[in-house]
Amino acid sequence: MKHLWQQSRSFPAPIRLLMANQFAINLAFYMLMPYLAAHLAGGLGLAAWAVGLVLGVRNFSQQGMFLIGGTIADRYGYKAPIMAGCLLRTVGFGMLGWVDNLPALFAASAATGFAGALFNPAVRAYLAAEAGERRVDAFATFNVYYQAGMLLGPLVGLALLAADFRLVCTVAAAIFTLLTVLQWCALPARRGDVPGATPGNVLTQWRTVVANRPFLLFALAMIGSYVLTFQVYLALPLAAADVLGAQGTWATSGLFVISAAVAVIGQLRLTGWAKRRWTPAQALVRGLTAMGMAFVPLALAPPEAPAAVLTALVLAVALLAVGGVIVYPFEMDTVVTLSGNRLVATHYGLYNTVSGLGITLGNLVTGVLWDFAARADAFWLTWCFLAATGLACAASVAALERSGRLIARTAEAPLAPA
């Protein structure tokens, strides 16, 4: 904690505010979202298809709109979309607790999702602009706050849920209201464009980003890392449930805690260690390799031995988290480098959209493979596929580095305050 405090204090006030902001965003989000499906199905009595549709609207309105959010941030500055996103979350979370008909639930879910599409690219672009040469350190510290919010959110939500789901929604909405006011009062306006330059119209802005071939290749190469990270929500819980049955829910919660705790405790130390020993590309390749190798213990564990499978699950989550911790700050820094410090938020927006589409496709393939493996009693196929995905991702990034495509094509220009 002392190291985190010292590291946080070493950054300018806007960065410290963004880090606290992200902690509160994740705290409020994970207070509510893990329990929303149960509320919709149990509390409101919705059919399973309606629950899935409400949750799907939220995911689509976020993943599908990241490019829009990044475009807005580059055109109008970073502060406005950050505030607008928090305000939308206030409305959306408030509605989720108090409405009970499908149209209103769809609207609330869409507002909640689009809010994330607004502030996520803007926050990362703002952070990169303020941090300058310390981007890697800034993103590493940022991720500690991000993961801490994910870790504490479900626990706070569970405590509030003992009273009423509406209380969970009201407290979450109140947090976003406070964040909106705090940013309006304390967050300086900031833009990321080179002084004297304009992004042109929206289509020109998008063409500029899409024409950035090294960036697109990097975004495609990194899809596998997001597919692997998402397995904390898909394949790993399925494996826990297969071994423990009804008790698998508790094991899943424990795995989630392990993942977040590794990031909170180890992020700064691992980032500093990697910076001293490796280039950014080497850190990415080694981190991605670790993420892929995380699934090897599960492929080797005999399925008829529950203790061995549970041990392999813990090892998998820990190694997956370590690999992700190494990758994240260098990945975020590489996006800025490949953008040439131009239209950074739009680059982040497209990057997140590509990752979201990749997660959807990767989860579909993983699910189909899991069903086949279950029928054939060959779960090792799923784990080998995921391990191969991580290694392929690492090999792709290594190939980009060898070809010189991970180097900025233009010199980075200073970023100007609004």
Task: Please tell me the number of Cα atoms within 13 Å of 104 on its side-chain side.
Answer: 12
Q: Who has greater pLDDT, 63 or 411?
A: 63
Cβ neighbour number for residue 164 with a 10 Å cutoff: 12
pTM of the full predicted structure?
0.89
Least confident of 66-75, 252-261, 298-307, 387-396: 252-261
Residue 41 is classified by DSSP as: I
Q: Which two tokens stand for residue 68?
A: 């829009």
- For the purposes of burial, counting CB atoms within 10 Å of the CB of 416, is it exposed (0-12), middle (13-18) or buried (19 or more)? middle
Is 201-402 the same fold as 1-190? yes
Place of tokens 């499978």: 309
Name the residue among 231, 257, 391, 251 with its Cα closest to residue 309. Answer: 251
**What are the structural domain ranges in the chain?**
1-190, 201-402
Whether residue 82 contacts residue 126, with contact meaning beta carbons closer than 8 Å, is answered with yes
The amino acid occupying position 250 is W
What is the arithmetic mean of pLDDT over 197-201? 62
Residue 165 CB contacts under 8 Å (≥ 6 apart), including other chains? 35, 39, 43, 97
| pLDDT in the model for residue 195 | 45
Q: pLDDT at residue 72 above 50? A: yes
Q: Per residue in 10-22, pLDDT tens?
A: 999 999 999 999 9
Q: pLDDT at residue 93 above 90? A: yes
Residue 46 is classified by DSSP as: -
What is the arithmetic mean of pLDDT over 81-102? 93
Q: What is the crossing angle of helices 135-161 and 165-186, to 10°? A: 150
Q: pLDDT at residue 124 above 60? A: yes
The whole-angstrom separation of Cα 70 and Cα 28 is 23
Q: Per residue in 133-156, pLDDT tens?
A: 999 999 999 999 999 999 999 889
CATH number, domain 1-190: 1.20.1250.20
Name the residue among 282, 225, 286, 289 with its Cα closest to residue 401. Answer: 282
Rg of the chain over Cα atoms, rounded to whole angstroms, equals 21
Task: Give SS3 for 44.
Answer: coil
Q: Please, which pLDDT band fits residue 106 given cuts at 50, 70 and 90? A: very high
Q: Where does 132-247 have alpha helices with state H?
A: 135-161, 165-186, 202-210, 213-221, 223-229, 235-244
Architecture of domain 201-402: Up-down Bundle (1.20)
Q: Give the chain's mean pLDDT.
A: 89
Number of residues assigned to the chain: 418
What percent of the chain clears pLDDT 90, i.e. is strictly above it? 63
| pLDDT in the model for residue 249 | 64
DSSP states of 99-157: --SHHHHHHHHHHHHHHHHHHHHHHHHHHHHHHGGGHHHHHHHHHHHHHHHHHHHHHHH
What is the arithmetic mean of pLDDT over 259-273? 93
Q: Per residue in 212-262, pLDDT tens?
A: 999 999 999 999 999 999 888 888 888 888 887 766 667 777 888 899 999
Q: Which two tokens stand for residue 79?
A: 């502060």
